[in-house]
């Protein structure tokens, strides 16, 4: 169903494109078609494979930001013990903001997962949506509320903890469109963060934190399917693909956290638009 070579290539593509705002689902749908691979991307096994690579990416994010997650977990514990969310307890407040931001996409993901799965079979749709993703990123740069880009890195969680509940919901709602292959989850949440007034670096950090719980929850639901008898042959390629995604994700997040200190998302907008147009033309004539 899936060779080791294919698993490695898709894993690398997923690990990079999940964190870069260029749509991991879009790339993993389009790439096999461009390479003329005989893969049925509408089958449940392919979705399970992709969830595994996403889970590996989530584990990398958890490890990369583990000190911050530890503080967030302790903050949630403090708020439960005190039965209040203090505005000056930034980690506690940030923890609940992440919960609020995760709920919208989580609920809709469960309700629409069968319909969304059908989109995995259409590379042409993904290529067209990739164009829209580029326009979304470019529009976010135009509409963003200006925020100082030379902010103290050590105060990032203080700034994130000052987001309002409504702003967190808006960012969370933004990632819903990433359920469609071609739209980027990290891109949509970064775009939402920029529009509510975050700097590029803070928007990226909030996006990466927001990714961890929702990807982890999806993995808990789908990965047990690997143990099914008909999927036994997929375990090996899935493990290799997940490891490839993990390596690519670690290098990606390390690069992006430095990149967004002084740079914008405009180059990614240009890439998505160009890649979507080129892929659409190639797929149209096949």
Domain count, the chain: 1
pLDDT in tens, 146-182: 655 555 666 777 888 888 888 888 888 888 787 788 8
Cα separation, 252 vs 24, in Å, equals 13
Which residue is it, tokens 């890649």? 275
Per residue in 265-274, pLDDT (tens digit) is 999 999 999 9
Other beta carbons within 10 angstroms of residue 100's beta carbon come to: 17
User: pLDDT digit string (tens) for 34-54?
Assistant: 998 888 776 777 878 888 898
pTM confidence score = 0.87
Print the domain residue range for 199. 4-284
Enumerate the H helices of the chain as residue ranges.
4-19, 24-34, 44-64, 66-82, 90-119, 123-143, 156-160, 165-174, 185-195, 200-222, 235-259, 266-284
In tens, the pLDDT along 187-237 reads 999 999 998 888 888 999 999 998 888 777 777 777 776 666 566 667 888
């Amino acid at each position: 169903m899936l060779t080791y070579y294919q698993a490695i290539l898709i894993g690398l593509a997923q690990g990079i494109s999940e964190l870069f705002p260029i749509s991991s689902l879009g790339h993993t749908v389009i790439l096999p078609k461009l390479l003329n691979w005989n893969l049925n991307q509408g089958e449940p096994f392919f979705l399970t494979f992709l969830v595994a690579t996403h889970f590996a990416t989530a584990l990398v994010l958890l490890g990369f930001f583990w000190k911050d997650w530890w503080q967030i977990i302790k903050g949630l514990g403090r708020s439960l013990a005190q039965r209040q969310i203090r505005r000056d307890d930034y980690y506690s407040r940030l923890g609940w903001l992440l919960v609020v931001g995760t709920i919208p996409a989580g609920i809709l993901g469960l309700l629409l997962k069968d319909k969304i799965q059908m989109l995995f079979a259409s590379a042409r749709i993904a290529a067209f949506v990739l164009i829209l993703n580029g326009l979304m990123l470019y529009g976010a740069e135009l509409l963003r509320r200006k925020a100082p880009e030379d902010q103290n890195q050590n105060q990032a969680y203080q700034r994130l903890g000052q987001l309002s509940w409504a702003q967190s919901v808006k960012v969370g709602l933004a990632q819903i469109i990433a359920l469609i292959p071609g739209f980027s989850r990290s891109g949509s949440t970064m775009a939402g963060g920029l529009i509510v007034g975050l700097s590029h670096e803070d928007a990226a950090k909030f996006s990466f934190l927001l990714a961890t719980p929702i990807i982890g929850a999806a993995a808990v639901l789908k990965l047990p399917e690997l143990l099914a008898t008909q999927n036994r042959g997929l375990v090996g390629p899935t493990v290799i693909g997940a490891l490839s995604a993990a390596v690519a994700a670690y290098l990606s997040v390390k690069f992006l956290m430095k990149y967004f200190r002084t740079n914008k998302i405009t180059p990614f907008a240009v890439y998505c638009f160009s890649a979507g147009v080129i892929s659409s033309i190639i797929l149209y004539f096949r």
